[in-house]
């Protein structure tokens, strides 16, 4: 088995997550997190290698400083990247628009095109680009690739990606559904295919983390997904509202005098679980609900109903339903929510294996052998998917 290594980078507005891994085996050789980049605290850095954590603080003023700290941590604590450089650096990029529909090798032209997409994802893409620029400086000899959260959804049919708004908005302003979490939806749906042993499946993947999205996957291709032109649409999330009546912002502008910036912040950062309960962390909401907190209980009901409606709609859209997969922090770790969703989908002939659901650890089947739909927990692994995308793109047969 090859020992080639890929460095995967996920640069956010004030954080940088990374992993050095072997795409073949999936072995993680090192990983780390730089947080509070550019904040008055000076930032924090945790580098984990060889089973040991190495923590440091301060000096993380911007993304180049963060990347330099990552390089220094590899020098100091290993693995030694100068002796054996990674074969590629894979960057998670949130929005590829319609221009980037697959993994793309990064060069100056690609970077310029990416910058032009910033208006489509103003909260995410500029940070991703800062990570790419810093990594190009640090690893000038290593091929670097952009792996887009939108790419898996390039197969959406027009009926799923077109909004019923004036036609010209799409060509002039890029107004259409793009979908996100594509790397995760692809990884998880491919695992479902492998576990069931058949490619011709109608699967709904529920990625439930801080951001949440559902994806309808038919015969391995994304045919519908709940996030839209931006990650705001769809399911109830940690701080995002998901689906609302689009006239609500107009109403609030008129009656409460809220401006565009305030509405943007309110719907992206102060809504969802946080808006409903004051807590954006699902664990805290579950704890409060168990203690009888009415707002927390109501929030879980709202989250559940939205999920059930999406699964039902996607089953109808695909014409059948073979599998449901739960992933993300909430999907992987909250048996009560999974049970609540699956119980309400009994009309599809779903029979839950309650013991399996309660004790699920790693990839687990949640339904009985007789269940007409098979449900799973599949821990997502976006870093591995990104690393594998890089090795596929590096193969001589892969066109750029």
Given candidates 334, 367, 374, 381, which one binds ligand ADP under the rule CB under 6 A?
334
Decide: is 124 part of the binding site for ligand ADP (CB under 6 A).
Answer: no
Q: How far is the CB of 333 from ligand ADP (least distance, A)?
A: 3
Taking alpha carbons only, the member of 104, 208, 87 closest to residue 150 is: 104
Decide: is 271 part of the binding site for ligand ADP (CB under 6 A).
Answer: no
Decide: is 210 part of the binding site for ligand ADP (CB under 6 A).
Answer: yes
Centre a 10 Å sphere on the Cβ of residue 388 and count the other Cβ atoms it contains.
Answer: 20
Cβ density class 280-311: b for 16+ within 10 Å, e for less: bebeebbebbeeebeebbebbeebbebbbebb
The active-site residue, picked from 75, 80, 149, 200, is: 149
125 is in an annotated binding site: no
Decide: is 211 part of the binding site for ligand ADP (CB under 6 A).
Answer: yes
Given candidates 283, 301, 349, 359, which one binds ligand ADP under the rule CB under 6 A?
283
Distance CA 236, CA 272 (A): 5
Taking alpha carbons only, the member of 167, 154, 36, 41 closest to residue 95 is: 154
Decide: is 242 part of the binding site for ligand ADP (CB under 6 A).
Answer: no
Decide: is 325 part of the binding site for ligand ADP (CB under 6 A).
Answer: no
Given candidates 333, 338, 365, 388, which one binds ligand ADP under the rule CB under 6 A?
333
Helix (H, G, I), strand (E, B) or coil at 398: coil
Active-site annotation holds for 149: yes
Stretch that binds ligand ADP, among 44-52, 57-65, 88-96, 325-333 (CB under 6 A): 325-333
Given candidates 328, 366, 367, 389, which one binds ligand ADP under the rule CB under 6 A?
328
Q: Which of residues 286-305 bind ligand ADP (CB under 6 A)?
A: 286
Residue whose Cβ sits closest to ligand ADP: 329
Given candidates 190, 264, 281, 293, which one binds ligand ADP under the rule CB under 6 A?
281
281 is in an annotated binding site: yes
Instruction: Check residue 26 and give left, alpha or beta (phi > 0: left; psi -120 to 50: alpha).
Output: left
How far CA 365 is from CA of 39, 64, 143, 360, 376, in Å, comes to: 43, 43, 39, 8, 4
Q: How far is the CB of 98 from ligand ADP (least distance, A)?
A: 25
Decide: is 234 part of the binding site for ligand ADP (CB under 6 A).
Answer: no
Distance CA 339, CA 353 (A): 9
| Phi (first) and psi of residue 346, to 5 degrees | -55, -25
Taking alpha carbons only, the member of 6, 2, 39 closest to residue 20 is: 6
Query: Which residues are annotated binding-site positions for Mg(2+)?
Result: 10, 382
Binding site for ligand ADP (CB under 6 A): 209-211, 238, 281-283, 286, 328-330, 333-334
Query: Which residues are annotated binding-site positions for substrate?
Result: 92
């Amino acid at each position: 088995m090859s020992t080639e290594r890929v460095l995967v980078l996920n640069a956010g507005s004030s954080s940088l997550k990374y992993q050095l891994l072997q795409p073949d085996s999936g072995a993680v050789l090192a990983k780390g997190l730089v947080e509070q980049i550019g904040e008055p605290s000076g930032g924090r850095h945790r580098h984990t290698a060889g089973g040991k954590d190495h923590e440091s603080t301060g000096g993380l003023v911007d993304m180049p400083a963060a990347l330099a700290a990552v390089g220094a941590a590899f020098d100091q604590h290993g693995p030694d990247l100068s002796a054996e450089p990674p074969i590629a650096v894979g960057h998670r990029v949130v929005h590829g628009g319609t221009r980037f529909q697959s993994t793309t090798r990064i060069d100056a032209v690609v970077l310029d095109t990416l910058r032009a997409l910033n208006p489509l994802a103003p909260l995410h893409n500029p940070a991703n680009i800062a990570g790419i620029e810093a990594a190009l400086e640090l690893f000038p000899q290593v091929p670097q690739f952009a792996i887009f959260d939108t790419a898996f959804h390039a197969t959406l049919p027009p009926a799923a990606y077109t909004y019923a708004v004036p036609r010209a908005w799409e060509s002039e302003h890029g107004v259409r559904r793009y979908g996100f979490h594509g790397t995760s939806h692809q990884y998880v749906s491919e695992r479902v295919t492998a576990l069931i042993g058949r490619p011709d499946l109608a699967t709904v993947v529920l990625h439930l983390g801080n951001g949440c999205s559902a994806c309808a996957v038919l015969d391995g291709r994304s045919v519908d997904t709940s996030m839209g032109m931006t990650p705001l649409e769809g399911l109830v999330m940690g701080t995002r509202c998901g689906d609302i009546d689009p006239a609500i912002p107009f109403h609030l502008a008129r009656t409460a005098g809220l401006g565009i910036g305030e509405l943007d912040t309110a719907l992206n950062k102060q809504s969802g679980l946080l808006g409903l309960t004051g807590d954006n962390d699902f664990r805290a909401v579950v704890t409060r609900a168990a203690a009888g907190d009415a707002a927390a209980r109501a929030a879980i009901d709202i989250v559940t109903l939205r999920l059930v409606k999406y699964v039902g709609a996607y089953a109808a859209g695909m014409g059948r339903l073979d599998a449901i997969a739960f992933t993300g922090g909430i999907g992987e770790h909250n048996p009560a929510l999974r049970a609540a969703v699956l119980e309400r989908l009994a009309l599809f002939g779903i029979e839950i294996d309650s013991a399996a659901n309660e004790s699920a650890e790693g990839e687990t089947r949640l339904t009985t052998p007789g269940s007409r739909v098979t449900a799973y927990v599949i821990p997502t692994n976006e870093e591995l998917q990104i690393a594998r995308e890089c090795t596929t793109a590096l193969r001589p047969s892969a066109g750029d």
